[in-house]
Amino acid sequence: MSTTLELLDVGFVRQALLAGAVLALLAGLLGPLVVGRGMAFAVHGTAELSFAGGAGALLLFGAGAVGWGALVGAVLVALVFGALGLAAHERDSVIGVLLSFGLGLGVLFQSLYTGRSANKFGLLVGQIVGVDTGDLVSLAVTGVVVVGVLGVAYRPLLFASLDPTMAAARGVPVRALSIAFAVLLGATTALGVQIVGALLVLSLLITPAAAAARVTASPLVATVLAVVFAEVAVLGGIVLSLAPGLPISPFVAGIAFVTYLICRVVGSLRTRRRASRTRVPASSTATSTSSQSTLASQSPRPRS
Amino acid sequence: MSAAQTRQGTVSLSGAELRRGPRTLWSGLDLDIHPGEFVAVLGPNGSGKTTLLQVLLGLLPLSAGEVRVHGEEPARGSSAVGYIPQQRALDPLTPLRGRDLVGLGLDGHRWGPGLRGRAARRRQVHAALAQVDALDYADAPVGSLSGGEQQRLRVAQALVGDPSLLLADEPLLSLDLARQREVVDLVDRRRRTHDTAVVFVTHELNPVLPVVDRILYLVDGRFRIGTPDEVMTSENLTELYRTDVEVVRVRGRILVVGAEDAPVHHHEEPAAGRQEVGAR
């Protein structure tokens, strides 16, 4: 405990906490949209290509370029995923193809790299203690951009994500928003890769939002909860990892997972209560099914 | 039958033509729809019913001719036009409550944070929910609601912007008879109380027969416009389908026999058209 307190005074730990807080904010804001759009797998794919980009940059230009490499890799692939739109079947297979390719590429770059090994594994499992001032600047810039775009486009984005048919009918540029969202997601993922690592980006972008979706159907409340859950996971994960000197990702993922479990239990209890409350008029459902069959037999619709 | 009207209509199509690739869906379409008028659009799959709605929504340009909605070119996202999509079950985990779904119909297409006018927005959403008697389940997750309840919310979502033109794309599909009647009643009540013109695309005429003013019957590029009595005759439908079709009236219902044998070109057109509207 005392070690943890001492470590909290150290400069790089403070920087790590700050970076984590910004990352968690972005992940919490984007998470409900990611979940609503069914893009969990796309996040995973983006993370692996971000890893490849970071590893490539490390090999070619050294540790200072990792952030940029990760960003370029993530945004490029996110653009591809965004252009695929919401057609789930096609998207899933394309993601699978690119994901495995990216992972292979990343591993190749890493094995060719002869520098410090901590630099290598950081991209996979996270190395938040390696956050420097340059990283903080890029984090802040990304944060401002993501929050700014969300401020302008949040309503159309929510509409296009959850109710695409209606959104398109109302003139919302569904496809353009899909690409814009993918870029935001790519940028956030790239930051996540540098902090919690490619393997665990999902625990920040998906788990808090998935947990929130279990306990509320209000988009606003879901977003607030997702931000809170993500902050607790990241900040809690960093603090807990200090004393044992372990990577932060298992702690972040662990906290996020426990949050999810709790929310699932709470959510299912609530659904059961609601179901038992509304299960009274059983007779009306019976009549409606019988009228359905009458309808089918009397229908004037030309059936073939 | 479709003589140009002198009075200015809510919708006015003149010489309207729509081509999709090499195929002409319809051409030479003249139609004026007046405030408060209920027009049903009938026809087999692929005859361009949904496409007509897309034109009126401003999502598709005509290939030829002219279309006016409230005297102007149809504009995307106009709050003067409400749209009810096909009843399709929403994902059970859709993170929206009934009132959120309706609210998206009001300002989901607007840019900016939308922090001003929250109270007025809440009142409008509440009024729309009240109009379709959906207040009881306005706070439940939409995915947990029945098909009929979801479709009521869709009607509220279309009405929340206080439209003077209401477009409905097969809103009765997969609803049982009682739920169908409820949706038709809601739409009919709306156009009577607010003089809202209605264009109602449907496979089934009978659920809307009591409230329909005119029918636009589209088959493979040919069409008829008129009152149900004028359009729904064996002679007309035989001509439209180019095969022997018999129209029978039984106990206030109209049954069409023989249309299913017609050599109508399908081309999977409706599915492709729908993909355009919804990206999912």
Residue among B88, B111, B274 whose CB faces A156 most closely: B111
The pLDDT assigned to A278 comes to: 57
Residues of B in contact with A178 (CB under 8 A): 279
pTM: 0.84
Mean pLDDT of B190-203: 94
Identify the residue with better confidence: A234 or A120: A234
Residues of A in contact with B171 (CB under 8 A): none
Residue among B93, B100, B148 whose CB faces A219 most closely: B100
Degrees to nearest 5, angle at CA B58 with B210 and B154: 50
Task: pLDDT band for A10, please (50, 70, 90 cuts).
Answer: confident
The pLDDT assigned to B92 comes to: 82
The pLDDT assigned to A165 comes to: 86
Residue A218 to residue B178, Cβ atoms within 8 A: no
CB neighbourhood size of B36 (10 A): 17
Distance from CA of B235 to the nearest CA of A (A): 17
Q: Chain B contact for A171, CB < 8 A?
A: yes
Reported as a single tens digit per residue, the pLDDT across A28-50 is 999 999 998 888 888 999 999 99
Residue among B96, B178, B260 whose CB faces A162 most closely: B96
Task: pLDDT band for A287, please (50, 70, 90 cuts).
Answer: very low
Q: Is the model's pLDDT at A300 over the cut of 80? A: no
> CA nearest A274 in B: which residue?
B140
Mean pLDDT of B18-41: 93
Q: Which amino acid is at A292?
A: Q
Q: Are B201 and B41 in contact (CB under 8 A)?
A: yes
CA dihedral B162, A150, A47, A164 (to 10 degrees): 10
Which of A91-105, A271-285, B254-268 reaches the highest mean pLDDT? A91-105
The percent of residues in chain B predicted with pLDDT above 90, rounded, is 65
Residue B85 to residue A35, Cβ atoms within 8 A: no
Reported as a single tens digit per residue, the pLDDT across A151-173 is 999 999 999 999 988 999 898 99
Task: pLDDT band for B198, please (50, 70, 90 cuts).
Answer: very high
The pLDDT assigned to B229 comes to: 93
Q: Is the model's pLDDT at A220 over the cut of 70? A: yes
Distance from CA of B239 to the nearest CA of A (A): 16
The pLDDT assigned to A29 comes to: 96
Q: Is the model's pLDDT at B182 over the cut of 70? A: yes
Identify the residue with better confidence: A84 or B72: B72
Reported as a single tens digit per residue, the pLDDT across B83-108 is 998 877 888 878 899 999 999 999 99
The pLDDT assigned to B271 comes to: 37
Mean pLDDT of B114-127: 90
Task: pLDDT band for A283, please (50, 70, 90 cuts).
Answer: very low
Q: Which residues lie below 8 Å from residue A161, measured CB to CB, with a gap of 6+?
A: A33, A36, A37, A181
Mean pLDDT of B218-229: 93
Tell me phi and psi for residue A109, to 5 degrees.
-60, -40
Residues 56-85 (A) with a CB less than 8 A from some CB of B: 85
Task: pLDDT band for A297, please (50, 70, 90 cuts).
Answer: very low
> CA nearest B74 in A: which residue?
A171
The pLDDT assigned to B117 comes to: 85
The pLDDT assigned to A282 comes to: 39
Residue among A86, A154, A217 whose CB faces B280 most closely: A86
Distance from CA of A214 to the nearest CA of B (A): 8
Residue A168 to residue B279, Cβ atoms within 8 A: yes
The percent of residues in chain A predicted with pLDDT above 70, rounded, is 82
- Distance, in Å, from the CA atom of B244 to the CA atom of A102, rounded to the nearest integer, reads 61
Helix (H, G, I), strand (E, B) or coil at A131: coil
Distance from CA of B28 to the nearest CA of A (A): 25
Task: pLDDT band for B3, please (50, 70, 90 cuts).
Answer: very low
Q: Is the model's pLDDT at B263 over the cut of 70? A: no
Task: pLDDT band for A115, please (50, 70, 90 cuts).
Answer: confident
Residue-averaged pLDDT of chain A: 82
The pLDDT assigned to B60 comes to: 92
Report the relative pairing of strands B64-69 and B38-42 from DSSP bridges. Answer: unpaired
Handedness of CA A170, A171, A173, A174 (dihedral sign): positive
The pLDDT assigned to A117 comes to: 65
Mean pLDDT of B237-263: 87
Residues 222-241 (A) with a CB less than 8 A from some CB of B: 222
Task: pLDDT band for A210, please (50, 70, 90 cuts).
Answer: very high
Lowest mean pLDDT of A12-16, A141-145, B13-17, name the range.
A12-16
CB neighbourhood size of A129 (10 A): 19
Distance from CA of A94 to the nearest CA of B (A): 16
Identify the residue with better confidence: A86 or A240: A240
The pLDDT assigned to A245 comes to: 78
Q: Which residues lie below 8 Å from residue B192, measured CB to CB, with a gap of 6+?
A: B36
Mean pLDDT of A77-86: 77
Residue-averaged pLDDT of chain B: 87
Q: Are B219 and B231 in contact (CB under 8 A)?
A: no
Helix (H, G, I), strand (E, B) or coil at A171: coil
**Entry field: residues in chain B:** 280
Residue B95 to residue A163, Cβ atoms within 8 A: no
Distance from CA of B130 to the nearest CA of A (A): 20
Mean pLDDT of A103-126: 79
> CA nearest A91 in B: which residue?
B280
Q: Chain B contact for A133, CB < 8 A?
A: no
Residues of B in contact with A172 (CB under 8 A): 77, 108-109
Lowest mean pLDDT of A63-67, A248-252, A299-303, name the range.
A299-303
How would you label B1-32 residue by residue, b for 16+ Cβ within 10 Å and e otherwise? ebeeeeeebbbbbeebbbebeeebbbbebbbb
Q: Is the model's pLDDT at B156 over the cut of 70? A: yes
Q: Is the model's pLDDT at B112 over the cut of 70? A: yes
The percent of residues in chain A predicted with pLDDT above 90, rounded, is 37
Residue A274 to residue B101, Cβ atoms within 8 A: no
Task: pLDDT band for A130, please (50, 70, 90 cuts).
Answer: low
Mean pLDDT of B73-92: 86
Mean pLDDT of A120-133: 67
